Amino acid sequence: MTEGQGSLRLAVIVPSFRRPDGLARCLASLERQTRRPDEVVIGVRESDTPTRAVITAAAERGVPVRAVTTKATGVVAAMTAALSGVSAPCDITALLDDDATAHPDFCARILTAFAADATLGGFGGRDWQPWERGNAEPVGVVQWFGRVIGNHHLGAGAAREVDLLKGVCSAYRTAPLRDIGFGTQLRGSGSQWGWELRVGLAMQRRGWRLVYDPALGVDHHIEPRQVDDQYHRGVFNADELIIGASNETAIMLEFLPWWRAAVFLLWSVLVGTRMLPGVLQLPRLLLMGKGLRWREFRATMRGRVDGLRAPRGVP
């Protein structure tokens, strides 16, 4: 059974922190939608006065936007606050970053996808980035041994089922998303690595399908972050690397079957990835002659140990 697009109501939530110009551009893109969202909720820090001023100005223009504030740091706290402000009639909740602008058919495509498939729990697309171009086929996949392949910014081809979506260009059914949450137990005060992975695996555990369609798109402008979490912006920070490895490890142990979790632990410690290297990568890293690589390895191993100790099953 399918639902008519017109019967579904859509909310868009945006976590925002000290990017007033970017947020204004993001909200303007929502005003230009061929099918506008029914409401827009911004998760914002209580102390962030410039951001709240942008929200007020947009509301005065008639944008159905409001702020929900939080004292806590991190994107998970901001999204959790925003989700709490989504009204009950909104069947679908889309996620958008404050440094992204939605393509004009963003909302319409989301509603069409959910209306056509009652088994669809999450739907996402491509975030077009200014300095990275090209196409990739594997997108949003957790391989059997636990390696995560993202590539959401490079995805091409037909729509396909995936294991995780990227927060900057995604949408979920509101009811299960409320039940699952964004992972308030995750460590970190910035982007908090792993929340997208956790949401995707939790949705699948509940029997929902996730679909990635590169025809759904946003322009992702990659603005500087206003917190210490700068690793994805090319700045090394040992603490953030520890947090990333810890969060990933805790999530895999919570959601993978025991035998896959065991294989993941072995693979992650022995091999790992370029960003989170394992033991067998250490000789290659040292041959590169950079002490930074040794520090990356040590931080990764510290994070893996911390992830083993992390609590499980906390919303």
Taking the model in full, what pTM does it have? 0.92
What residues have CB less than 8 Å from 154, skipping those under 6 apart?
126, 132, 134, 135, 136, 139
* Residues 155-176 as b or e (16 or more Cβ within 10 Å = b): beeeebebbbbbbbbbbbbbeb
Which pLDDT value is given to residue 293? Answer: 76
Output the six-digit token pair for 123.
């739907």
> Could you give the CA distance from residue 70 to residue 228 in angstroms, rounded to a whole number?
19
The model's pLDDT over 259-307, given as tens digits with 9 standing for 90+, comes to: 999 999 999 999 999 889 999 987 877 777 656 678 888 999 999 999 9
Confidence band, pLDDT 50/70/90 cuts, at residue 2: low
Confidence band, pLDDT 50/70/90 cuts, at residue 311: confident
Instruction: Check if the beta carbon of residue 50 is closer than 8 Å to that of residue 17.
Output: no
pLDDT, mean over the chain: 92
Per-residue pLDDT for 312 more than 80? no
Which pLDDT value is given to residue 191? Answer: 83
Residue 223 is classified by DSSP as: P
Per-residue pLDDT for 258 more than 60? yes
Distances (CA, A) of 104 to 9, 141, 215: 17, 27, 12
Output the six-digit token pair for 109.
């495509």
State the amino acid at position 148 in one-letter form: V
Confidence band, pLDDT 50/70/90 cuts, at residue 190: confident
**H or E stretch at 124:** strand 120-128
- Mean pLDDT confidence for 108-114: 98
